[in-house]
Amino acid sequence: MGHSTGVLTFNLGSEYDLTDALVWNVNFGPGAVTGVKTMTISISSDGASYKQVGGTYNLTEGTGFNGLAPNDLTLSNATMAQFVQFNITSNWGGGIVGLNEVEFLGTASATTPEPATLGLWLLAPALAFARRRPVA
């Protein structure tokens, strides 16, 4: 007994201006019937309140052969987001559902520093203070 629907949430680590999602469906065995057939996508900046972008996306069924191209899903009316939710509404049959790979395309927020940069900003005052101590 499994599930043919579900919700999958991605935390991108910081905010991005998203434009597309490349989604590779499950692609093993003849008739790979465990892949996602239809889904909607929602985005959020805080992980609590989500807004749907685009309509219902229809994914290509896996063939079981090498070279299955990704589904290029344009995220129309998307805005800055750190969290992306796939709301899977149906699969190609079978009792479970899955994906092989997901890649998000977009631009990092200019206002969200990378973790390494943020660490340097926090560390710089401590280093400046440490250098000012008198030497005995």
Q: What is the DSSP string of 11-76?
A: EEEEEEEEEEEEEEEP--STT-TTBEEEEEEEEESSSSS-EEEEEEEEPPPP-SSTTPPPEEEE-T
The whole-number pLDDT of residue 122 equals: 58
Strand 36-44 to strand 51-58: parallel, antiparallel, or no bridges (unpaired)?
antiparallel
Average pLDDT over residues 18-27: 92
Q: Is the pLDDT of residue 52 over 90?
A: yes
Q: Is the pLDDT of residue 1 over 50?
A: no
71 phi, psi to nearest 5 deg = -85, 120
Q: What is the pTM of this model?
A: 0.75
- What's the pLDDT tens digit per position in 84-116? 999 999 988 877 788 999 999 999 887 655 555
- What's the pLDDT tens digit per position in 32-42? 567 899 999 99
Report the largest interatomic distance among the alpha carbons of the chain, rounded to a whole angstrom: 78
CA distance 97 to 48: 25
CA distance 55 to 73: 10
Average pLDDT over residues 43-56: 94
Domain residue extents for the chain: 6-110
Contact assessment for residue 15 and residue 109, using Cβ atoms and an 8 Å cutoff:
yes
Domain 6-110 belongs to what topology? Answer: Jelly Rolls (2.60.120)
The whole-number pLDDT of residue 123 equals: 56
